[in-house]
Structure 1
Amino acid sequence: MFNLCGHLFSFLLGLPFSIKQAGLPLGILLFFWVAYVTGGILSGTHSYQALVRKTFGLPGYLLLSLLQFLYPFIAMTSYNIIIGDTFGKVFQRIPGVDPGNFFISRHFIIGVATVLFSLPLSLFRDIAKLGKVSLISAVLTSVILIFVIIRAFTLGPYITRTEDALVFAKPSALQAVGVMSFTFICHHTSFLVYSSLKEPTVAKWSRVIHIAVVISTFISILFATSGYLTFTGLTQGDLFENYCRNDDLINVGRFLFGITVILSYPMECFVTREVVANVFFRENLSKRYHAIVTTVIVIMATALSMIVDCLGIVLDLSGVLCAVPLIFIIPSVCYLKLSEERWYHPDKIMSTVTLLNGVVVMIVGFVSIILYPDDCSHGQEMAYCLSTNASFFNNSFSSFEPTIQPSVLNTSTVQ
């Protein structure tokens, strides 16, 4: 179950950003909708690749393989971006360390993390060995969630709310669906996880799926609303970009989240390697080619993450171009083509609605990203952090009583 949830745990930082895009009330409703669609598809699918190949032949299989490769590959790139941004801010808090020091730059941190952790963990051949790793990620994520909730109460009152903070819906809501889909999708790891179960059965798999989706939905909504209500319209694609560098409670959270991302990285690499093995090596990689393919994939993801430094843009594009087709469009088209039910059958109507929703989200979401790209802080300190009198963050972690005047953090928060 934790292997299945591991992907979501690693992208919690982008969920408050999706609330910013959709609007708070609509965003919460969309979370339930995406979670419902994801859980329903996964619990009823036996083999995604085989289903598509049977329905659309080799072209359909190759298209699906491309999407299944790109989705986890982009996730690996996003993980590296998070690692570079997160640990960079943590290391700046070490006494005597110059913020401009090369050894705490995002490029150096990404490179070291790749060589020492990401690549060695990705070289495992058995995904079952990562079960305990995913459990650790789940525990750390719970601690981070507590930190975010604490700051919603202790920091949120000092951040000026933007005018549209509580509107029901916003024009960029369809972009939010893409981000949520990117976070919730488990199709690309589901079959690997299924095969790792002891005595895998449909009943056991269905139980694991539903428990995982329910837990993920609860954590996602709590994290998204707490993060968004702290910063409202100022929320960044990477929530930790919103917190000040001298916030030591959040720096602990940054460090724990960096560990969580490093531990989740191999899950995505497993999938990308599996796709390459299925398409080019007939599902069988020798030890030599296993190492070569893994190393090439990791190097490619690392190189791309050195160039791109804005998590929000990555989540938007990946959501509408990869996650939405994998969740909404392809399964619905397969069902509609293979099903012998009449057109007015409830299942067929539901599939048609899901297909149309997917097409609209994909097209409109992509156009919205191009026409209205989101701003990214690019690692810069937020305006409300610039006051030299902001001693609030150096207080005890357990203190809920603010020790600064409201004017300290209320200055120039809305540009």
Structure 2
Amino acid sequence: MEELARESIGLLAKPTLESGSPNLSSAGAVFIMLKSSLGAGLLNFPWAFNKAGGITTAVLVELGSLIFLISGLVILGYASSISTQSTYQGVVREICGSAIGKLCEICFILNLFMISVAFLRVVGDQLEKLCDSLYMNVTLSGEGPPPPQHWYTDYRFTLTALCALVIFPLSVPREIGFQKYTSILGTLAACYLTLVIIIKYYLRTEHFILPSPADKRAVFSRVFQCHEACIAIYSSMHNKKLSLWIVVSVLSMLFCLLIYSLTGLYGYLTFGADVAADILMSYPGNDLVIIIARLLFGISIITIYPIVLLLGRSVLQDVCLNDKCRSVVLLEPYERCTRIVLTITWILVTLVIALFVPDISEVISIIGGISAFFIFIFPGTYLLTDVCIFTCSKMAIMNFLAIIPIVIRGVQAEWKISSLEKSSSQCM
């Protein structure tokens, strides 16, 4: 993600669109795409298999979604090449006009902000469950009354300390040189989690009867989402041939498909309809292997959060550093001050929401709807704008009709959350 950060943030310090010579290899681009895609949705994939109505339906939905996801990535790379822009919002503004560009910036900020809240909530959940697991181990191994839980084991304190001591230092710099070393953690954590689920399936003696297909409306495209960062990744590549970008897009999505499918398949085969929305919650909390998996997964989310913040901050800095200010030499101290203030504000606001809004189902629903902009609608707009000649009225109608899939995806996400809450209340 070093090059991603350089392209998305370094633009703000120069009036030109280039920020040094891009030197990212195609292998590095595949790895960054993998890290961007392997997020919190991995924990929910076995549950999504169950909600999709079974293995066959889930795999078919995955394969169908994969076609549109890869097509969107290819279109975005092509749009970046013809517009010579290196950020998502810049490409939209250049190709689709300033009005659609403003809409993209609003959706971009809102989507990244909600993702940041969801990431902190996931990290907080993992910290809380880690503390509970350690407390459970002490209780089971000792005699007498259970030891009292200390204030420093409260996930609110640990998450706040983590934001101040780890996330903030990772997010402040304009360029994150060591991010190329931390980027491996996301893929390793995902592979470890997948491996644990597979091994646990073969070691389990109890077998569950899989339910018959009942619901086929689960949506899998959101968990493969890396479209916000793909233009910055493409702009950072040394070789920008479209054929090579197609290979990068296909390989990264196929690797994601493999990891997600194995996790969903074996998690669903292990627990059947009883699988929890968080697959790790289906295993004993005092299992050391599961504790390690939870710890690694939390670390992987922590390494992704600064990149999300950097991409969102780049849009906000674009507003603060207008064209007139960019031509002045005093840009450097003003840019540094603006960057620090925006970083602190972003972390504080997302942290407060993550701490004091325990149920983020509404956040997930909003992300599911807005994600359609970056996966389907904006890439489709690029393609139609490049191939066809639209009048203003036709473009307005097309953009109005683009709201329909957003509403549908939001309703689907809300329906899935409601069904999960109902099933959880029935279990209690």
TM-score class, shorter-chain normalisation, is 0.7 to 0.9
Secondary structure of 2:358's partner? coil
* Mapped partners of 1:255, 1:50: distance in 2: 37
The reply to whether residue 28 of structure 1 matches residue 68 of structure 2 is no
* Mapped partners of 2:370, 2:205: distance in 1: 34
Q: Once the 2 structures are TM-superposed, how far is the Cα of residue 286 of structure 1 from its aligned partner?
A: 1.2
Q: Quote the residue 1:73 is aligned against.
A: 113
Give the counterpart of 1:184 among 224, 229, 238: 224
* Mapped partners of 1:231, 1:310: distance in 2: 25
1:206-229 residue CA offsets vs partner (Å, 9 max, x unmatched):
332222111111111111222233
RMSD, aligned α-carbons: 3.2
Q: 1:370 to 1:257 in 2, by over 3 A?
A: closer
* Mapped partners of 1:147, 1:189: distance in 2: 29
Q: 1:294 to 1:204 in 2, by over 3 A?
A: farther
1:96-119 residue CA offsets vs partner (Å, 9 max, x unmatched):
685854322231222121111111
Contact 2:167 2:302 in 1 (8 A): yes
* Mapped partners of 2:173, 2:385: distance in 1: 38
Q: 1:206 to 1:26 in 2, by over 3 A?
A: same
1:18-65 residue CA offsets vs partner (Å, 9 max, x unmatched):
223322222211212222212222123233434432454322111111
* Mapped partners of 1:286, 1:21: distance in 2: 47
**Matched letter for residue 69 of structure 1:** I
Q: Quote the residue 1:362 is aligned against.
A: 406
* Mapped partners of 2:358, 2:53: distance in 1: 25
Q: Quote the residue 2:33 is aligned against.
A: 4
**Matched letter for residue 373 of structure 1:** I
* Mapped partners of 1:56, 1:200: distance in 2: 22
* Mapped partners of 2:193, 2:320: distance in 1: 40
Q: Quote the residue 1:130 is aligned against.
A: 179
Identity %: 21
Contact 2:96 2:381 in 1 (8 A): no
Give the counterpart of 1:256 among 286, 291, 296: 296
Q: Quote the residue 1:214 is aligned against.
A: 254
Give the counterpart of 2:381 among 309, 333, 353: 333
Secondary structure of 1:374's partner? helix
Give the counterpart of 2:68 among 20, 25, 37: 37
Q: 1 or 2, which has the higher helix percentage?
A: 2
Q: Quote the residue 1:170 is aligned against.
A: 215
Q: Which runs of 5+ in 1 are unaligned?
A: 343-351, 384-412
**Matched letter for residue 72 of structure 1:** L
* Mapped partners of 1:148, 1:110: distance in 2: 27
**TM-score under structure 1 normalisation?**
0.76
Q: 1:371 to 1:190 in 2, by over 3 A?
A: closer
* Mapped partners of 1:109, 1:331: distance in 2: 40
Contact 2:370 2:406 in 1 (8 A): no
1:367-408 residue CA offsets vs partner (Å, 9 max, x unmatched):
34445633668xxxx99xxxxxxxxxxxxxxxxxxxxxxxxx
Q: Quote the residue 1:85 is aligned against.
A: 125
**TM-score under structure 2 normalisation?**
0.74
Q: Which runs of 5+ in 2 are unaligned?
A: 1-29, 81-87, 140-145, 327-333, 391-397
Secondary structure of 1:125's partner? coil
Comparing 89-98 with 252-261, which one deviates more in the overlay? 89-98
Q: Once the 2 structures are TM-superposed, how far is the Cα of residue 289 of structure 1 from its aligned partner?
A: 1.1
Q: Once the 2 structures are TM-superposed, how far is the Cα of residue 127 of structure 1 from its aligned partner?
A: 5.0
* Mapped partners of 2:344, 2:309: distance in 1: 10
* Mapped partners of 1:154, 1:312: distance in 2: 34
1:283-330 residue CA offsets vs partner (Å, 9 max, x unmatched):
9671121111111111111111113334665434311x2111221122
Comparing 276-285 with 254-263, which one deviates more in the overlay? 276-285
Q: 1:54 to 1:152 in 2, by over 3 A?
A: same
Contact 2:51 2:215 in 1 (8 A): yes
Q: Quote the residue 1:303 is aligned against.
A: 352
Number of positions where the alignment pairs a residue of Structure 1 with one of Structure 2: 360
The reply to whether residue 223 of structure 1 matches residue 263 of structure 2 is yes
**Matched letter for residue 29 of structure 1:** L
* Mapped partners of 2:267, 2:110: distance in 1: 28
Q: Quote the residue 1:394 is aligned against.
A: none
